[in-house]
Amino acid sequence: MVPQRHYCIPPLSRIDLEAVLELVEDMRYLVLHAPRQTGKTSTIKALADRLNAAGECRCVYVNFEPGQSARQDVAAGMQTILAALADEADWTTGEDLVEQIWPAALAKAGPHLALKRVLARWSAADSRPLVLFIDEIDSLIGDTLLSVLRQLRSGYPDRPRRFPQSIILCGVRDVRDYRIFSSSEGSHVAGGSAFNIKAESFRLGDFTKDDVWSLLGQHTAETGQEFEVGAQERIWHLTRGQPWLVNALARQACFDDKAGRDRSRPISIAAIDRAKETLVINRVTHLDQLANQLREERVRRVVLPMLGGSVNAAYSNRDLEYVRDLGLVAHEGVVRMANPIYSEFIPRELTASLQSGLESMVSPGWYVNDDGGLDVRDLLTAFQRYFREHSEFWVDRYGHLEAGPQLVLHAFLQRVVNSAGRITREYALARRRSDLLIEWPRPGGTLHCNPSKYVVECKVVGERSGPELVIREGLRQTESYMDLCGAESGHLVVFDMRPGKTWEERIFTRDPEPDQPPITVWGM
């Protein structure tokens, strides 16, 4: 981020600056962590500039990510780290001492002591205390990371005369969540034990609503291009302030889309939705990294039960904290996905191979009426047939009794609805439900102007709750969600995955009574 060239929020406004400065002055060692592409580097560089401008200390920012390629080779990793440190010392403060001493320190002291020796000599060379900001610390691997953390810990008692007065470690995760495999020790080591001198951890949050409005206002002020009523609100709704998503969505709509480059045309809600779809379909870098995180077992322990609305999740509080720190979920009364873009992308990613197979089996055109409307009843009837034939393979593959059936439904509906409509997903832990809202253009209309709306509510019959109890509860929930969304009809899909149940018992369709809300119950 270059303030002279980019729209931006003042980086230091996003942290508790007073608290951080007080801890630095008090000679504390800190951790600043946040999900990728949220502004960590911009923030700590701005903080370094502020401290250097004050002139009371020497503050140097250094990125340790180049040491990642050394993996468990501590000697190679330490050489890379010390060389990077020497460059930053020279460029930031004009000191060439680190460049002069690090090769000899590495040769004489060895890789497990060289960093401590260099920092000690460097700190003692000037009466002004040294403050060090280390970025991408958790990109280091195994013994290399352990060696860095332990050398920083061993020098801690010598601050500020013979070691940095304050150090801030910056990365994606809090140091407590590091599980470092040491090849030399043949075991995992907790980061909190290797670096037990941390006084405080700060998490850089997402943009506030005012921040988003400010960024979009900067675009209007510079280009004259307005946003239609509701377009800014749509950006906030889809991203919940996740910094990279806010910028990517606005850039796609305002710069990458040809129509958006016409500054005489305001940016519409439809343009924002098109931009969102482009980001999701193209699996842009940020979402690709999100996909990688879904492979981690402790992430799946939280996310899969959430998709199923489970109350019997097997995750720990530490798992939940970890997934929250990654920026995947928010905890506001209930645990939910951090934003609607993640809510849409995650089921799509988890069902990518399933959707690929559906391309040759399911044609969206089969479920569109002659007037262009969507035949939801025919669509769910077809899903019943598909689920009966193929569910065992896919549910077993996902390895979660409650999430598996619902992911199969997500994929089937996505294959059809994505051709012209939109699916909005609502799911959270312990809700005993998963809500889908299908929006489809009315005949002669558009998706963004009073579309038809259909609620699809998913529930799973558990060991202790019979199907009738689940249906009664589900009908109430479906009706409530229909009222909230203004839907014209609802569909309650009940998955009965209990052992011993035959398909004849499980497959049924129950139409609403004339005096009841228009909700059809589908047994699976």
Half-sphere exposure in the Cβ direction for 134 (13 Å, CA): 27
Q: Which residues have C-beta within 8 Å of that of residue 93, sequence separation ≥ 6? A: 52, 58, 60
DSSP 199: E
Alpha-carbon Rg for the chain in angstroms: 27
DSSP-assigned beta bridge partners for residue 453: 439
Residue 133: both structure tokens together: 């900001």
Rounded CA-CA distance 68/137 in Å is 9
For 513, phi then psi, to 5°, come to: -70, 155
Which residues, 6+ apart, have CB-to-CB distance to 215 below 8 Å?
A: 7, 8, 9, 207, 246, 247, 250
Give me the amino acid identity at 75: A
User: Can you tell me the distance from the alpha carbon of 269 to that of 317, in angstroms, rounded to the nearest whole number?
Assistant: 38
CA distance 114 to 111: 5
Distance CA 458, CA 470 (A): 10
CA end-to-end distance (rounded Å), the chain: 51
Measured CA to CA, the distance from residue 482 to residue 417 in angstroms comes to 19
The answer to whether the beta carbons of residues 261 and 255 sit under 8 Å apart is yes
For residue 197, what are the contacts with CB-CB under 8 A and spacing of at least 6? 29, 152, 153, 156
Sequence-separated (6 or more) residues with CB below 8 Å from residue 268: 228, 231, 448
Nearest to 62 by CA among 19, 107, 106, 102: 102
Residues in the chain: 524
Residue 65: burial class (beta carbons within 10 Å; 0-12, 13-18, 19+): middle
pLDDT tens digits along 24-48: 999 999 999 998 889 999 999 999 9
Q: What is the pTM of this model?
A: 0.85
The backbone region for 412, taken as left when phi is positive above 0, alpha when psi lies in -120 to 50, beta otherwise, is alpha
Task: Identify the pLDDT of residue 376.
Answer: 96
Cα–Cα distance, 345 to 287 (Å, whole number): 8
Q: Cα separation of 263 and 332, whole Å?
A: 39
Instruction: Give the DSSP H or E segment for 330.
Output: strand 329-332
Q: Is 212 helix (H, G, I), strand (E, B) or coil?
A: helix
Q: Helix or strand or coil: residue 206? A: coil
Helical H segments across 294-417, by residue range: 297-308, 317-325, 340-350, 352-358, 376-398, 403-417
Residues of the chain with pLDDT under 50: none
| β-bridge mates for residue 132, sequence order | 60, 167
Please tell me the distance from the alpha carbon of residue 408 to that of residue 394, in angstroms, as a whole number.
Answer: 7
Identify the CA nearest to 404 among candidates 277, 281, 316, 524: 524
In the block, tokens 């020790």 appear at 185
Q: What is the pLDDT of residue 445?
A: 87
Type of residue numbered 399: G
